[in-house]
Amino acid sequence: MHYKHLAWIAVGLAFCVVVLGAFVRLSDAGLGCPDWPGCYGHLAWPNEHHEIAAANEAFPERAAEPHKAWKEMVHRYLAGALGLIVLTLFIWAYRDRDRYSFILPLTMCFVIVFQAALGMWTVTLKLHPGIVMSHLLGGMLSLSLLTWLACSRTPGMTAYRYAGHVKRPMVVIGLLLLVIQIALGGWTSANYAALACQGFPACNGQWLPAMNFVEGFNLFKAYGPNYEFGLLDAPSRVAIQMAHRLGFVVVTLYFVWLVFRLTRNRELLPLGLTLAGLLALQIGLGIINVTMALPLPVATLHNGVAALLLVTMVLLLYKTRKSSDS
């Protein structure tokens, strides 16, 4: 196996970890295991009757729910496997390549360790929204860095021949807007505000509903011992949902313009069409989420498409680099 193959495997696994993390969060299984890194004191989730009874006795404050626990533990298993692959990428690069080539894999190792800490705090701090959102962004950062690493080890991923239609700052702005929108989506999910607005495009039949942005975006508010199912009032959740919708409008308008620029360059045309297709799919999924009360498969796919949009933007960023960039 070549280094690039392992790097792309890591990209695929990171994507799976991100999507499965969304599935865990959306199915309210974030506290399916009340401890970390095990589950009710074991490396596997309780499934048999005697295991469930033992778990309930050891953790009386949290009744065992096997249908939630397995989701959380599978997510941890995959995240652990990803950590081992990233460590392998670092060791491989350190041993066989020049002294600069292992810097990115080493950085990835630190990111993965911090991401594991965020996973632990998600459980120990009982789904604190700031930690939950940070955990999501950490997963997206891991996916982005691994994508860049895989591109840098793939000979065919050369910089495109500059034709004036797309400049790197255009891609950087698009990437930043997308990251902000993903963060807003994470904050919406972490605060259980996805269904704060019924209907689309109006919110609960109003174009300007009652909103409390101060409380909705108070990152330093004390949330109590357990944040499962959220603690914010309706106006605060509506403010979060409406901010996410406003972000959707901004990102959509910018990406439509960016796609137009991309399709004018033959080399970047495939990525432009990919971006357009993912954007259209994401818009449709978002509308379905609101109008059909957040069906789990659709909501999970919504997170997955966001990750794919991010990967596409990272590919564009790599393609629009200067030829001398590493």
Mean pLDDT (the chain, rounded): 91
Burial readout 79-106 (b: 16 or more C-beta within 10 A, e: otherwise): beebbebbbebbebbeeeeeeebbebbe
Intervals of the chain under pLDDT 70: 97-100, 162-164, 322-326
Instruction: Write out the catalytic residue numbers.
Output: 72
Angle between helices 234-262 and 269-291 (to 10 degrees): 160
Question: What is the structure's pLDDT at 199?
Answer: 87
- Taking the C-alpha atoms of residue 89 and residue 110, their distance in angstroms, rounded to an integer, is 13
- Taking the C-alpha atoms of residue 217 and residue 198, their distance in angstroms, rounded to an integer, is 21
59-99 confidence digits (pLDDT tens): 998 889 999 999 999 999 999 999 999 999 999 988 876 66
Question: What is the structure's pLDDT at 323?
Answer: 47
Question: What is the structure's pLDDT at 275?
Answer: 96
237-290 confidence digits (pLDDT tens): 999 999 999 999 999 999 999 999 999 888 889 999 999 999 999 999 999 999
Question: What is the structure's pLDDT at 163?
Answer: 58
Q: Is the dihedral of CA 47, 53, 54, 59 positive or negative?
A: positive
- Taking the C-alpha atoms of residue 155 and residue 160, their distance in angstroms, rounded to an integer, is 13
In this structure, how many other beta carbons lie within 10 angstroms of the beta carbon of residue 268? 22
Question: Would you say 40 and 72 are in contact if contact means Cβ atoms under 8 Å apart?
Answer: no
Question: What is the structure's pLDDT at 266?
Answer: 85
CA angle 93, 143, 243 (to 5 degrees): 155
Question: Would you say 45 and 73 are in contact if contact means Cβ atoms under 8 Å apart?
Answer: yes
Quick one: what percent of the chain has pLDDT higher than 90?
Answer: 75
Q: What token pair was written down for 175?
A: 């990437």
pTM value? 0.93
